[in-house]
Amino acid sequence: MNLKMLVQLVLGLSLLVTLGACGPKNNSASVCVPPSSNPSNKLHFESGVPCNQAAALNEAVSSLVTLPLDSSNSSVGLMARTMKTDDVTPAGLQNWMEDRVQYIINGDFKIRSHLYTTNQPFSYSEPNILPDAYTNSASVQGAQIIMLNVGTEVYANGKLAKQLYIVDLPGIGYVPMPSPRTGMLAIGPGLFNSLGGAQSAVVLNIFRLGTLFHEARHSDGHGKTLGFMHSVCPPGHDYAGLPACDLSTNGPYTIGAMMVKNLTNACTNCTAGDLLSLRAMYLDVANRVLDPAKAPIGLAPDASAGMDWDDSPEGSR
């Protein structure tokens, strides 16, 4: 493959942010322990991801089997329709997520210096259409990033440059990005320290699952809905001024909130304290889906407020 190194990657897409208090860093890495309970987990970890963080994410995915959802429950049914799936079994949900998330990289990974392209032009669908928010990236100062769907960023930048971008991931190799569905997430500092205090394993697992499903949604959409980009929260909102809200009713915060709610309902061994933490987590996320009356106006009609956006993805894996 004829590769040419690229520079300049515009950042600013798909952020899940929180303003929670910082806890101790949890990045002691040495010898990797393979995921024990569910060998079918398909996430690929770049070699810079600390082993304990990879193990924690694998454990979260594996914990789906301990939190089986009741498909006859109306809240689960609503989530299934929103996700356009008829399989809410643990395996079905895992597949839905892994269709959209494949690679996990360390937040410190310098992706700009690991970006390549071929010298061949690449044909994108809807070549000149990008989300409005993509060209109006808001500052995230004051926010703490939990995870970031960098795959969608790389794809969108490739689309802008009309070339296929390829990321060289240590320990994995060259990963072409012909679609956001290639699914590449960077771990932010908030994923392992944002909850504050001692939380039980089940609370941490549900938090991380909600995050993974949130980020998975950023791998969907096309044209103006590409990446289901966040909107800046309006004045008066807890996150006013930050790109930490959704206009759509089927976006990342909706998916994340539904997952947290339904997994919490499925938790049979949660303590009263666990349930308090999980309900607070749910409310924080659900509150980021904007009331259309408070949303900005003048948006693209297929990516405006108070409606389900078209989730058909661009490109193919």
Q: Which stretch binds Zn ion (CB under 5 A): 7-15, 86-94, 114-122, 298-306?
A: 7-15
Which one, of 222, 187, 205, lies nearest residue 260 by Cα? 205
14 versus 58: smaller Cβ distance to Zn ion: 14
CA–CA separation, 187 vs 145, rounded Å? Answer: 8
CA–CA separation, 101 vs 97, rounded Å? Answer: 6
Scan residues 193-222 and list those touching Zn ion (CB under 5 A).
Answer: none
Which one, of 130, 127, 138, 125, lies nearest residue 245 by Cα? 138
Edge-first strand order for the sheet with 115-121 is 4-5, 115-121, 163-169, 173-176
Q: Which amino acid is at 168?
A: D
CA–CA separation, 242 vs 252, rounded Å? Answer: 15
Q: Which two tokens stand for residue 86?
A: 């008829």
Q: Which amino acid is at 23?
A: G
Residues in CB range of 28: below 8 A, 6 or more apart: 50, 52
Residues in CB range of 108: below 8 A, 6 or more apart: 48
Residue nearest to Zn ion (CB): 16
Per CB under 5 A, 150 contacts Zn ion:
no
Q: Which stretch binds Zn ion (CB under 5 A): 10-18, 79-87, 118-126, 234-242?
A: 10-18
User: Cβ 218 to Zn ion, closest distance in Å?
Assistant: 6
274 versus 311: smaller Cβ distance to Zn ion: 311
Q: Which stretch binds Zn ion (CB under 5 A): 30-38, 186-194, 245-253, 299-307?
A: 245-253
14 versus 163: smaller Cβ distance to Zn ion: 14
Q: Which of 252, 256, 313, 315 binds Zn ion (CB under 5 A)?
A: 252
User: Cβ 248 to Zn ion, closest distance in Å?
Assistant: 12
202 versus 259: smaller Cβ distance to Zn ion: 259
Strand-pair partners of 257: none
Q: Which stretch binds Zn ion (CB under 5 A): 93-101, 174-182, 193-201, 250-258?
A: 250-258
Q: Which stretch binds Zn ion (CB under 5 A): 29-37, 82-90, 165-173, 252-260?
A: 252-260
Q: Which of 6, 13, 16, 184 binds Zn ion (CB under 5 A)?
A: 16
107 versus 252: smaller Cβ distance to Zn ion: 252
Residues that bind Zn ion (CB under 5 A): 14, 16, 252
